[in-house]
Amino acid sequence: MAQKAPRHAERRLLRKFNPKNRMSEKHLTVAGVSLSHPDRIYWDDVGVTKRELAEFYVEIWDWMRPHIVGRPLVLVRCPDGAAGQCFFQKHASGMDSTHLHLVPEKRDKIIAIDDLSGLISLVQAGVLELHTRGTTIDHREEADRLVFDLDPGPGVGWKDLVAAAREVRERLHKLKLESFLKTSGGKGLHVVLPIKPTPWEAAKDFTRAVAEAMAADSPDRYVATTSKSERGHKIFIDYLRNSREATAVAPYSTRARSGAPVSVPIAWSDLGALRNADRYTLRNLPARLERLHGDPWERIGRLRPSIDKWM
């Protein structure tokens, strides 16, 4: 029997939003965080405001929490919205740390969150994308999630991208490894593999071997090199997400792109019905989650297979 979908206690509270939380026209309190100018537009093309982004994360928090809490974050901050200038922020310099979990690393502090308040504080800071490392803040020298980022070149059809995702899955399945799927919220698909914590070099070598094998077997379809001159009309199997400092967009994170798309976990059985990687947005995703009878990534936190014997 399928696992029941997460229950959304905060969502129900949000639908009956307490008037006491409305401080003034210029402030709104969500999850204990004061949002200044909540009606500031973050996505001009669809009119999505800071308030809507905060409410979206409250509504889908139960789905997102297992994939973001306790993991090092890299932020895409867009103070003037998605259409303005955006920048990556890896460390905590200049951030309000009240609701954040800051972890000393070298000469700075990396950013993590422990709860919904931490996430909403990032909304207040103009964060429109959250990217995670494939590790936890407590075991940063080892990877526990690997990502195969399938990035289509110009002219690559959606059916070809779907076939590539299925091929990655099948190759991993032959190694008795269960993988999971999500949209990128952009053009591509991510195949995600949970593993037993493994040193970064070994993890990267494993993903490189899979990517290079696919490129060698089908050189007209795939490429495993970053050189754009060699990519052409092919699918780039990006295994470089699997190094200590590298990140991938987090499950259920919005993207700083037209339409306010979201990176969304998808069941493999639903892939055939999907038509593009930015199908789900801040505005239509909650309705999809309401219809689901189970979490497509319900098992990902319980799987910890070793890849040592395949190296």
Whichever domain contains 239, its CATH number is 3.30.70.3300
Rounded CA separation 128/76 (Å):
6
Is there a single domain that holds both residue 152 and residue 223?
yes
Is there a single domain that holds both residue 126 and residue 13?
yes
Is there a single domain that holds both residue 210 and residue 223?
yes
Q: Domain containing 170: what range?
A: 142-245
Is there a single domain that holds both residue 31 and residue 167?
no
Q: Structurally, how many domains does the chain consist of? A: 2
User: Looking at 245, 270, 289, which one is the last position of a domain?
Assistant: 245
pLDDT at position 20 is 40
48-76 pLDDT per residue, tens: 999 999 999 999 999 999 999 999 999 99
Question: What is the model's pTM?
Answer: 0.91
Is there a single domain that holds both residue 128 and residue 166?
no
182-196 pLDDT per residue, tens: 999 999 999 999 999
Only one residue has tokens 């008795």, namely 176
Is there a single domain that holds both residue 130 and residue 40?
yes
Is there a single domain that holds both residue 250 and residue 109?
yes
The b-or-e profile of 4-41 (16+ CB within 10 A means b, else e) is ebbebebbeebeeeeeeeeeeeeebbbbebebeebeeb
Q: Is 88 exposed, middle or buried (0-12, 13-18, 19+ CB in 10 A)?
A: exposed
Quick one: tokens of 245?
């400092």
Contact 171, 180 (CB under 8 A): no
Is there a single domain that holds both residue 157 and residue 115?
no
Is there a single domain that holds both residue 252 and residue 147?
no
84-103 pLDDT per residue, tens: 999 999 998 878 889 999 99
Is there a single domain that holds both residue 182 and residue 118?
no
Contact 136, 245 (CB under 8 A): no
199-220 pLDDT per residue, tens: 999 999 999 999 999 999 999 9
Does residue 245 have a pLDDT over 70? yes
**% of the chain residues with pLDDT over 70:** 91
